[in-house]
Amino acid sequence: MPSTPTASKGRIGVLLVNLGTPDSPQTSDVRRYLNEFLTDGRVIDMPAAVRYPLFQGLIVPLRAPKSAKIYQQLWTERGSPLLYHGLDLQKLVQEQLGKDYLVAFGMRYQNPSIESALQQLRDAAVERIIVLPLFPQYAAASTGSVQEKVMELVSKWWVVPSISFISTFVDDPGFIGSFATLGKAEMAKHEYDHVVFSYHGIPERHVLKGSHKGYCKLGNCCNNYNKNNRYCYRAQCFETSRQLAQALGLAPERYTTSFQSRLQSRLRDPWLQPYTDEVLKEMPAKGIKNVLAFSPAFVADCLETTIEVGEEFKEMFEEAGGSHWQLVPSLNSNPEWVQAVTNMIRRN
């Protein structure tokens, strides 16, 4: 008797992706990283004929030695925090999800590449792939760039698997809850007058380009989070702050949303405002001397959290007359965050 074929279900592939980091804090590696990052047309949205000569030829060579010094400050025995926290998260989420899933980790720029992570999933013949870019708020320059890269790579496979993307998770209760837990732990140690939610900035132009049917005008439109502005970066940042404030029991006058990390260029195009460095310098004169700072655009500690918010902003605040500036550490591989990621994947 011929045997009846049995259907065996394959594993579900999960691809966690973060932005990227240099292979080492040496200038040559930082230059290679910045060249890849800043010639991405979703990050620097200029025509390629201008972008490449301007960034590879001028801006990156000037910036790389300065950035390398900052990366040397950030580097640890385990390397770049963004990388090792990502690998820890991958391992722990894999343990939580069990053998029905295969979890891979990749970086949009440099290593481990998205290509190598996708190859692991392909080699394991996964049934479908769930991609989770590790950016809570969708931006064309971060989440959008990861999505474009994944689609570009997978589109070349002869057999293209089913793929789904988790594009934003600002209103995920696990994401909000895990950040709130870390914030409450800091609030229990010290009394704070005010909370600053500082997000990675992007050019205003990027927000307007993504505006659904011209809905976003960079005004009060972003104060409500709804179907028209679901992917508006500014509206998602405001929503994150609102949800975190609610979880922390903060009244609206007890917190500020602001934007950091603007790329200073001679082009002087406006980035999202208010700028965190300007906001914090005005606080001590208004009687705000003790500030708790969150960086909720990042789920892992990196240059932008540890150095910019944790060290540079602290110094600026104290120079302006502030007494105490404290950064809430990122989610990294905290158990509550690991559970939140696991739940997001299972729900998908």
Ligand X SMILES: C=CC1=C(C)c2cc3[nH]c(cc4nc(cc5[nH]c(cc1n2)c(C)c5CCC(=O)O)C(CCC(=O)O)=C4C)c(C)c3C=C
- Among 141, 176, 327, 341, the residue binding ligand X under the rule CB under 6 A is 141
What is the distance between the alpha carbons of residues 106 and 134, in angstroms, rounded to a whole number?
10
Q: Name residue 132's beta-bridge partners.
A: 16
Residues 152-191 within binding reach of ligand X (CB under 6 A)? none
Residue among 216, 248, 327, 341 that touches Fe ion (CB under 5 A): 216
Judged by CB under 6 A, which of 88, 263, 273, 290 binds ligand X?
263
Q: Which residue is nearest to Fe ion (CB)?
A: 216
Binding residue for ligand X, selected from 11, 12, 14, 21, defined by CB under 6 A? 21
Helix then strand count (H, E) for the chain reads 12, 8
Identify whether the C-beta of residue 122 lies closer than 8 Å to the C-beta of residue 154: no
Interface pattern 202-241 for ligand X (x via CB under 6 A)? xx--------------------------------------
| Residue closer to ligand X (CB basis): 46 or 320 | 46
297 binds ligand X (CB under 6 A): yes
Q: Per CB under 5 A, does 34 bind Fe ion? A: no
CB of 75 to ligand X, least distance (A): 10
Q: Which does 169 bind (CB under 5 to 8 A by kind): ligand X, Fe ion, none?
A: none
Cα–Cα distance for residue pair 194/317, rounded to 1 Å: 13
- Contacting ligand X (CB under 6 A), which of 55, 105, 135, 259? 135
Determine, following the binding rule CB under 5 A, whether residue 221 of this chain makes contact with Fe ion.
yes
Q: 328 is in the binding site of which of ligand X, Fe ion, none (Cβ under 5 to 8 A by kind)?
A: none
Quick one: tokens of 161? 């698997």
Residue 200 in marked binding region:
yes
43: nearest Cα among 186, 143, 191: 143
Q: How far apart are CA 176 and CA 307, in angstroms?
A: 23
Would you state the structure tokens that stand for residue 31, as one six-digit string?
Answer: 């230059």
CB 95 to ligand X: min, Å: 25
Q: Judged by CB under 6 A, which of 198, 243, 304, 330 binds ligand X?
A: 304
Torsion of CA 75, 79, 85, 88, to 10 degrees: -160
Beta bridge partners of 13: 102, 129
Q: From the list 27, 94, 110, 142, which residue makes contact with ligand X (rule: CB under 6 A)?
A: 142
Stretch that binds ligand X, among 49-57, 122-130, 166-174, 195-203 (CB under 6 A): 195-203
* Vertex 329 angle, CA 236 and 283, to 5°: 70
Q: Is 304 annotated as a binding residue?
A: yes
Which of 13/25 has CB closer to ligand X? 25
Alpha carbon distance 344, 348 (integer Å): 6
Residue whose CB is less far from ligand X, 199 or 255: 199
Q: Where would I find the beta strands (DSSP E) of 231-282? A: 255-260
Q: How many CB atoms lie within 10 A of CB 202?
A: 25
Binding residue for Fe ion, selected from 102, 222, 244, 245, defined by CB under 5 A:
222
* Residue 24 DSSP label: S
Cα 206 to Cα 45, 214, 220, 257, 313: the distances in Å are 8, 13, 17, 19, 25
Beta pairing class for 101-109 and 12-20: parallel
Residue 135 partner contact from Fe ion, ligand X, none using kind-dependent CB cut-offs of 5 to 8 Å: ligand X
According to DSSP, the β-strands at 290-294 and 194-200 are parallel
Residues that bind Fe ion (CB under 5 A): 216, 221-222, 232
**Residues at the annotated binding site for Fe(2+)?**
200, 304
Residues that bind ligand X (CB under 6 A): 19, 21, 43, 63, 67, 80, 82, 135, 139, 141-142, 200, 202-203, 261, 263, 297-298, 302-304
